């Protein structure tokens, strides 16, 4: 979920979050923009600018996922604060991304996409020089299936085994704007710099009961069961996601944490070598996105393969698709970032509270 991606990007000491752009996806653009402002406020990083991006795909109507994340995109908690700072009104999201990335030294900046790829595709189509300038692009999106990994991809009643999470074939972010995705994966400059974090990887990282216990309490006060407002907020979001994921996909161990993995893989590339991702010693892939077919709420038409990501081996210059990671270390990194939030919010006068939750 995007909230954990922002947490990791804003609080890991090796990263400098330059800004956030919002896009249509799990909820409407109005909701995703409000959610971004609320999460930045909850994390006390209101200084980070955020922009409203595209409200719809290139050439399709927007689709949302209220059955997974609720109508607002962040249902399940009453702890979300109102945004302390509004989104930037006098700037364009695509131009803001271009300016922020080009202001960094060549070959250093990363762009991380955790939603529909409309903003990102518009950036590279409008300003192709950015493709050459950045170090990398990390995308949470896509699903391979067919035993690419051993991750549990879930079952939907009446459908049996599947590897998509919106249709039997397609992961939601790619499904939202398949034309945007195809424009990125077919870009010969950009593709070799791109990492695709698929459901085959994210479904290995489940927020189990043991994980929730680990994240629930402030590390230095765990024996006394002291928590914080931010930890309670993030736990409630996970519990809501766990409920919907179990109901829809039958994954009962805990919900997968998709989006922060797209940030975590950047850490691997900027020197956090203790957080290891397995790409089978450098295997690379050509990625083709199925764009034939319609978006539809009609189950009879969800058999269309629109949004499916089809891969073939690339001898060089292809997309990186990690097959595994050190899951325990990943959760340690998330806990470290939550602890930094605890320290920051306590120093700003925010109260730690006792919890009776077992």
Cα–Cα distance between 351 and 227 in angstroms, integer?
Answer: 9
Which tokens in the block code for residue 349?
């006068």
Please name every residue paired with 352 in a beta bridge, in sequence order, or none if there are none.
228
E-only strand ranges, the chain: 20-22, 50-52, 110-113, 136-140, 155-156, 160-161, 194-197, 226-228, 277-278, 284-289, 309-314, 324-325, 352-354
Residue 278, classed as helix, strand or coil, is strand
Residue 201: closest CA among 269, 153, 156: 153
Separation between Cα atoms, residue 273 and residue 279, nearest integer Å: 14
**Catalytic residue selected from 12, 24, 64, 258:** 258
Q: How far apart are CA 207 and CA 328, in angstroms?
A: 11
- The per-residue DSSP string of 283-344 comes to -EEEEEE---S---S-GGGTTS-TT-EEEEEESSS-BB---EE-HHHHHHHHHHHHHHHHHH
Phi, psi angle pair for 264, to nearest 5°: -60, -35
Residues 119 and 116: their CA atoms lie apart, in Å, by 8
DSSP β-ladder status, 284-289 and 324-325 = unpaired
Angle, CA 156 vertex, CA 23 and CA 181 arms, to 5°: 30
Told to judge if 286 belongs to the known catalytic residues of this protein, a careful annotator would answer no
For residues 277 and 196, the answer to whether their CB atoms sit within 8 Å is: no
Catalytic residues: 258
């Amino acid at each position: 979920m995007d909230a954990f991606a922002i947490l990791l990007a804003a609080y890991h000491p090796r990263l400098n979050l330059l800004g956030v752009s919002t896009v249509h996806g799990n909820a409407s653009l109005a909701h995703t923009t409000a959610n971004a402002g609320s999460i930045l406020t909850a994390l006390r990083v209101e200084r980070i600018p955020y922009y409203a991006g595209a409200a719809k795909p290139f050439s399709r109507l927007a689709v949302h996922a209220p059955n997974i994340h609720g109508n607002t995109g962040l249902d399940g908690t009453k702890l979300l604060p109102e945004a302390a700072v509004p989104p930037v009104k006098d700037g364009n999201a695509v131009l803001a991304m271009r300016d922020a990335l080009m202001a960094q030294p060549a070959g250093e900046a990363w762009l991380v996409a955790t939603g529909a790829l409309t903003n990102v595709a518009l950036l590279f189509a409008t300003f192709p020089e950015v493709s050459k300038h950045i170090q990398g692009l990390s995308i949470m999106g896509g699903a391979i299936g067919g035993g690419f990994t051993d991750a549990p991809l879930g079952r939907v009643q009446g459908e049996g085994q599947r590897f998509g999470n919106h249709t039997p074939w397609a992961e939601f972010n790619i499904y939202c704007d398949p034309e945007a995705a195809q424009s990125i994966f077919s870009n010969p400059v950009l593709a070799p710099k791109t990492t695709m974090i698929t459901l085959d990887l994210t479904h290995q990282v489940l927020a189990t009961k043991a994980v929730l216990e680990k994240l629930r309490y402030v590390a230095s006060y765990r024996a006394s069961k002291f928590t914080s407002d931010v930890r309670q907020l993030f736990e409630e979001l996970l519990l809501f996601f766990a409920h919907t994921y179990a109901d829809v996909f039958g994954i009962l161990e805990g919900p997968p944490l998709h989006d922060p993995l797209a940030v975590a893989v950047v850490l691997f590339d900027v020197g956090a070598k203790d957080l290891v991702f397995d790409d089978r010693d450098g295997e690379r892939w050509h990625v083709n996105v199925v764009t034939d077919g319609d978006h539809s709420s009609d189950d009879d038409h969800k058999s269309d393969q629109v949004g499916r990501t089809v891969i073939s081996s690339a001898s060089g210059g292809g997309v990186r698709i990690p097959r595994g990671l050190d899951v325990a270390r990943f959760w340690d990194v998330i806990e470290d970032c939550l602890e930094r939030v605890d320290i920051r919010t306590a120093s700003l006068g925010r109260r730690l509270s006792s919890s009776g939750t077992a």
